[in-house]
Amino acid sequence: MKFSSHIHSVLLFALLSPALAADPQSKMPSVKQRKVFITGEVIAADSQLIFVPPSKSSPVALRKFVGEGKFVRKGDVVLSIEAHNAGTLEQLQTTLEQTRAKLDAEVAKLEVAALEADKAFAVTQTARDKAEVDAALPKTQISALDFDKNQTEKEKAIRDLEVRRLAAKTAQAAVLRMKQDGELDIRKQHIKLEFTKQEIALSSVIATQDGFVTHNFNQWPQERIDEGASVYPGTQAGTIIGTGKIEVKGWVLEADRLHIRENMAVSLQFDALPGQQADSVIKTISQAPELKAQWGNGRYFRIDIPVPEQFRQLAAPGMSVLIQPADQKAASNNKVIAPAKLTLEGEVQSRVNLPVVPPAIPHIWQYTITQLAPEGSLLKAGDLITQFQAAEVMTHLARHKSTLNEKQRALEKLRLDQAEAERNATLAVDEARANADKAARKASMPKELIRRVDYDKLVIDKELSLKLLDIEKQLNETRKRARLAEKKALEFELMQSQNKINILEQGLTRMTVKAEQPGILIYKTNFNEEKFSSGSKIWMGQSLANLSDPKQLFVNAQVAEAQATYLRTGQEAKVSVPGGNQVLRARITQLGKVFHSKSATQPGIVRDIELEFEQNSQTSLKPGSAVQVQIQLQAASVPGSATSSAKEGS
């Protein structure tokens, strides 16, 4: 019973708590205030997420990716991948033209059939007209047997004419249906072509705003996404951090929601600015809590807090922030003891890295590495990097060449057949013209010299011959158009086969990869975290190595968030290889524009720094070498106030 009473009390408290928080003047017992600690981070309100463009293959290699911390302007290309559909665009255009030619040929054939039906209808109509002339003879002028025969022939001619009229109508309807179906097919091909053009256009990401580029970490393998990396389409490769408004986003545990409210004064403590506090207010609070799986099973309300004016030049996106109600903030101690020196872990990198990937050949997904230059080789422009092999390429090439030869023979035969058909069509028109002239001469005989019935039939024959001549001329033009369309369709098929052969032959050429510029070859690892070697299998779009420019080396290091305030551009440093005797002089040239997690598996917040070697420092280090960076700190570099920090951060 005691346990049940306790549950009911908790439920009643939960139901009444929102009312208590909303109505401070309520006479109900107030909620006991307790210490509230809110986790937050600095965010840029105007940011553009950079996603890897869609592709029909996966993964894809990043052909271009603007370097970490580089400034881009609206309209600049930030990231691009190889457009695997670029080779098929010409094929699709050829297919579209081929579809149009086939449609013209089919329509022309049906129009020929419709004209033949009109021709048969005209002949049948003439037969009916003649039968009506015979059937009009009085019964008293001919025998009863001939009269009955004429009436029967008339009825038969009328029935035949109705059949021919229906056949002609059906033939015309078939022409109309073919045109409609063909237009739908052409529209489908056109949409596919435009879609492919859009895919090619979307193979590059364009900046929609000014800002600084930051790179994300790949979920697998656990490494930063840089130019030359193999990533999956749809992956968030980075962000363009805007230069406008920044604010603090915090997360309040559901149980602490009762102790905060909008417009409540809070104190902000930035981990990257030790010893300093900022005063602000809670601007908005989300209406419902959200799950944060990476933090456990708790649910959190999101709050938005403006960054005070005096800290806007100091705060950078990604900074960790401790948020407390103003009446709970601890006394600030601006006297921060800086360490005498910082020792950081870093890596030698090159600013120019050309990815080494297999060629994009349609329907070829896996390749074998038959030859590969040794890792660390210093290659000159034109030197062999690697040789790929795929047996399916030769198989496809042989099949398409055989198809091309067959179509070439078919085209030669079609030309001979069409030449013969053209001669026959000309003869048919000449024959129809001769028949029309003959019928006209017969109908020009004096009416008094022949019987009325025979004269009426001669006039009917004259009209028929003129109709047949006109139809034969139309048939000749239509058949000519059909022959031309049939020839064009076969020529487009030839062109399509030749395009496929060209793509395969170009792919064969690109299976031999040579250095486009001098550089050092740095191997990458496969899905099993093993380096590639001769005989290894590799998937299309997977990068096996980078060709790095040894003349554009720099050191990329990471400093913990709490120590980032002691660093500024221009500071001198010493770079050494762990366990080695070589020590090189360098200087900090750039501080990261944002703070981020150390890696996908290490949640610690760090800031990137870049160091350039001194001009007189001769280094034998290669890209990918792990180094230690030692930075001697001075008292002047220790921030004692917001003003001094602003100067150093700039």
Quote the pLDDT of residue 367: 94
Say whether pLDDT at 17 is over 70.
Answer: no
Say whether pLDDT at 260 is over 60.
Answer: yes
343: burial class by Cβ within 10 Å (0-12, 13-18, 19+)? exposed
Whether 369 and 533 have beta carbons less than 8 Å apart is answered as yes
User: What are all long-range contacts of 428-436, with beta carbons under 8 Å and residues at least 24 apart?
Assistant: 428/472, 428/475, 428/476, 429/469, 429/472, 429/473, 429/476, 432/465, 432/468, 432/469, 432/472, 432/473, 433/469, 435/465, 435/468, 435/469, 436/462, 436/465, 436/466, 436/468, 436/469
Say whether pLDDT at 574 is over 90.
Answer: yes
Report d(CA 1, CA 3) in Å as an integer.
5
pLDDT per residue over 261-304, tens digit each?
Answer: 999 999 999 999 888 889 999 999 999 999 987 788 889 999 99
Report d(CA 398, CA 501) in Å as an integer.
9
- Which of 193-197, 266-270, 355-359, 463-467 has the least mean pLDDT? 193-197
Which uninterrupted H or E stretch holds 432?
helix 391-443
Mean pLDDT of the chain: 85
Confidence of residue 530 (pLDDT cuts 50, 70, 90): confident
Tokens 């070859």 label which residue? 521
How confident is the model over 39-63, as a mean pLDDT?
87
Report helix, strand or coil for 121. helix
pLDDT per residue over 323-382, tens digit each?
Answer: 999 888 766 555 667 788 899 999 999 988 888 999 888 888 899 999 999 999 999 999
Say whether pLDDT at 177 is over 70.
Answer: yes
Quote the pLDDT of residue 646: 38
Quote the pLDDT of residue 85: 61
Quote the pLDDT of residue 16: 39
Say whether pLDDT at 617 is over 70.
Answer: no
Say what the pTM is.
0.67
- Which of 25-29, 506-510, 583-587 has the least mean pLDDT? 25-29
Phi, psi of 340 (to 5 degrees): -70, -35
Q: Dig out the tokens for 392 from the structure.
A: 């399916």
* Sequence-ordered list of residues with C-beta below 8 angstroms from that of 430, at least 6 positions apart, any chain: none
How confident is the model over 634-642, as a mean pLDDT?
48
C-alpha dist (Å) from residue 478 to 130, 253, 466, 491, 642: 30, 80, 18, 20, 87
Report d(CA 155, CA 568) in Å as an integer.
109
Say whether pLDDT at 7 is over 80.
Answer: no
C-alpha dist (Å) from residue 573 to 267, 342, 454: 36, 10, 120
* Sequence-ordered list of residues with C-beta below 8 angstroms from that of 588, at least 6 positions apart, any chain: 567, 568, 569, 570, 571, 573, 609, 610, 611, 631
pLDDT per residue over 379-411, tens digit each?
Answer: 999 999 999 999 899 999 999 999 999 999 999
Q: Dig out the tokens for 406 from the structure.
A: 């067959």
Say whether pLDDT at 643 is over 50.
Answer: no
Report d(CA 215, CA 212) in Å as an integer.
10
Say whether pLDDT at 15 is over 50.
Answer: no
